């Protein structure tokens, strides 16, 4: 018997946790953090307790109550019977938090399957961020009472290759690269005893690599999956800007503000957007200046086969820390290799040659404006999604306050990482699945009539094929 159970991504954007069982084989398709559900109980300074992490999330219904699935750390974990783990593996579609981060909670004996780019991105983001038990995807700290130096346990991560099948238990799996707003994104075809199940993950056809998604869709047309589990983020947005539109918008901003100091911001994992900005800045006679975190990400991706800038192609901004003396002791260990590079710059360099750079500045680095001293008439190119909820509105207002304080003009150029509604409907009609299960959408009812059978399932509801 084959079953499908959605433990996340139901009437929400993200938090995907889809369990597929076929006889004795169980697989999760993604195991992501649900920001919408988490925000019901937690916020920036209210978080799950370290000494009771997994138990806290179970008590609040934020993760599925399944035995022999989670970490068994003496601190923060739950008992593990020592029997076979609940699942045989987790297939990760891509390295965004809402699809990957709660892998950190599962037992380290459970293998993960992901693209090499996704593995490197997740590892680099953990190394350069504030590690906690909710984002330790590749390597996690095994916490024991009274011990403050934690044992590091690495998970088994199997690298999946585009179009190269593999087996997990009794299920044959085919991974295909898809275009999304982060490299290493993958869609999957599962060969089960009840027919083929296709899982798109997050995807689009208007990005920088549409041929990847097209190849996946061609494979689906050929094999005709019985079940299609498809994302529907933009089902109610018929169409919108493409990455070509972003290029045109960025080119116009660069042309209009020639000679002005210019900043930019974008989603930190979106290496495709970084590449676009790098290429266009270079044509306009500017050098892209990146943060330590972006430098670390670029360094981690070198040799991965991606068409993104290398670390030597950009400049690396050294911010002041603690006492502001640029001593390596002021910086985290992972940052130190970037301090004395030939392409490292400081605030005085940026002040001196104001029109020569395109400076990456994320929300949490806005304080650097005080050291950089941008003149009035400088510009911020905001190349990521604009606010769509109350919390984001508050942050956006703070951003505008900083820009207004320094007389910095605001320009926007962005395209969604998700397929738009009109094209999404066309894709579903072209594939003509027997069973359609919308996921990663707030409006599953908008899929009515798009397939022979459209299942709008509830969280935890088991679908038997």
pLDDT in tens, 154-191: 899 999 999 999 999 999 999 999 999 999 999 999 99
Q: Look at 151 and 321; give whichever has higher pLDDT.
A: 321
DSSP 457: P
pLDDT of residue 398: 94
Beta partners for residue 463, in sequence order: 4
pLDDT value of residue 361: 97
CA angle 151, 153, 159 (to 5 degrees): 160
Tens of pLDDT, residue by residue over 24-41, are 999 999 999 999 999 999
Which residue has 């690599």 as its token pair?
Answer: 209
pLDDT score at 1: 94
Position 210 scores a pLDDT of 97
Chain mean position to CA 422: 24
Pick the closest to residue 437 from 416, 461, 418 (CA basis): 461
Residues near 82 by Cβ (< 8 Å), separated by ≥ 6? none
Q: How far is CA 154 from the centre of its chain?
A: 20
User: Is-contact 235 226, C-beta < 8 A?
Assistant: no
Once rounded to an integer, what is the mean pLDDT over residues 307-319? 96
pLDDT digits (tens, 9 = 90+) for 184-235: 999 999 999 999 999 999 999 999 999 999 999 999 999 999 999 999 999 9
**Model confidence at 448: pLDDT above 70:** yes
Edge-to-edge strand list for the sheet holding 344-345: 344-345, 315-317, 287-290, 357-360, 262-265, 379-382, 409-412
Residues 6+ apart with CB under 8 A from 43: none
Q: Give yes or no for residue 74 having a pLDDT over 80.
A: no
Does 371 have pLDDT greater than 70? yes
Residue 410: left if φ>0, alpha if ψ -120 to 50, beta else—which one? beta
Domains and CATH numbers, the chain: 2-237+418-464 (3.60.15.10), 243-412 (3.40.50.10710)
In angstroms, the CA 418 to CA 267 distance is: 14
Tell me, what's the pLDDT at 393?
87
Residue 462 scores a pLDDT above 80: yes
How large is the C-alpha radius of gyration of the chain? Answer: 23
Structure tokens at 338: 């970037």
Distances in whole angstroms, Cα of residue 35 to Cα of each of 42, 62, 99, 389, 391:
10, 10, 11, 12, 12
Would you say 102 and 132 are in contact if contact means Cβ atoms under 8 Å apart? no
> In the predicted model, what is the mean pLDDT of residues 392-404?
92
CB burial of 170-185 (b: ≥16 within 10 Å; e: otherwise) equals: ebebbbbbbbbbbbbb
Interior angle at CA 421, CA 420 and CA 426, nearest 5:
105
**What local confidence, expressed as pLDDT, does residue 129 receive?**
84
pLDDT surpassing 70 at residue 90: yes
Average pLDDT, the chain: 94
Q: Which of 350, 366, 436, 365 is nearest to 405 (CA)?
A: 366
Q: Average of pLDDT values for 113-139? A: 91
pLDDT value at residue 248: 97
Using 50, 70 and 90 to split pLDDT, how confident is the model at 75?
A: low
Does position 147 have pLDDT exceeding 90, yes or no? no
Residues 203 and 440: their CA atoms lie apart, in Å, by 11
Confidence of residue 64 (pLDDT cuts 50, 70, 90): very high
306-330 mean pLDDT: 94
């Amino acid at each position: 018997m084959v079953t499908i159970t959605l433990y996340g991504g139901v009437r929400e954007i993200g938090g995907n946790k889809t369990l597929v069982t076929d006889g004795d084989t169980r697989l999760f398709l993604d195991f992501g953090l649900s920001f919408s559900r988490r925000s019901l109980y937690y916020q920036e300074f209210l978080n799950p307790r370290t000494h009771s992490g997994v138990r806290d999330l179970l008590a609040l219904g934020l993760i599925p109550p399944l035995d022999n699935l989670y970490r068994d750390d003496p601190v923060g974990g739950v008992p593990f019977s020592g029997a076979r783990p609940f699942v045989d593996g987790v297939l990760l579609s891509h390295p965004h938090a809402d699809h990957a981060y709660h892998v950190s909670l599962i037992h380290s004996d459970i293998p993960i399957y992901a693209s090499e780019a996704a593995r490197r991105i997740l590892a680099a983001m953990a190394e350069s961020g504030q590690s906690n038990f909710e984002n330790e995807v590749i390597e996690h700290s095994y916490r024991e009472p009274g011990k403050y130096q934690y044992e590091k346990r690495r998970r088994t991560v199997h690298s999946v290759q585009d179009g190269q099948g593999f087996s997990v238990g009794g299920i044959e799996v085919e991974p295909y690269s898809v275009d999304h707003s982060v490299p290493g994104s993958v869609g999957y075809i599962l060969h089960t005893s009840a027919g083929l199940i296709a899982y798109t993950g997050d995807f689009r056809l208007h990005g920088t690599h549409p041929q990847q998604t097209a190849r996946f869709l061609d494979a689906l047309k050929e094999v005709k999956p019985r079940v299609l589990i498809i994302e529907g983020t933009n089902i109610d947005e018929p169409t919108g800007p493409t990455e070509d539109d972003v290029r045109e918008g960025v080119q116009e901003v660069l042309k209009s503000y020639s000679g002005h100091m210019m900043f930019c911001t974008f989603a930190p994992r979106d290496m495709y957007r970084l590449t676009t900005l790098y290429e266009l800045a270079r044509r306009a006679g500017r050098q892209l200046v990146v943060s330590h975190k972006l430098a670390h990400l670029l360094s981690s991706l070198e040799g991965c086969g991606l068409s993104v800038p290398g670390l030597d192609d950009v400049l690396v901004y050294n911010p002041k820390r603690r006492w502001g003396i640029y001593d390596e002791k002021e910086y985290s260990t992972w940052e130190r290799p970037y301090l004395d590079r030939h392409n490292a710059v400081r605030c005085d360099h940026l002040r001196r040659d104001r029109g020569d750079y395109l400076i990456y500045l994320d929300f949490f680095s806005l304080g650097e404006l005080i050291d950089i001293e941008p003149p009035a008439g400088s510009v911020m190119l905001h190349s990521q999604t604009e606010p769509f909820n109350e919390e984001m509105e508050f942050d956006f207002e703070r951003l505008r306050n900083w820009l207004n304080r320094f007389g910095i003009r605001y320009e926007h150029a962005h395209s969604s990482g998700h397929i738009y509604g009109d094209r999404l409907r066309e894709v579903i009609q072209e594939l003509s699945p027997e069973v359609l299960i919308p996921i990663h959408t707030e409006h599953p009812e908008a899929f009515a009539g798009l397939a022979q059978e459209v299942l709008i399932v509830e969280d935890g509801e088991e679908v038997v094929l």
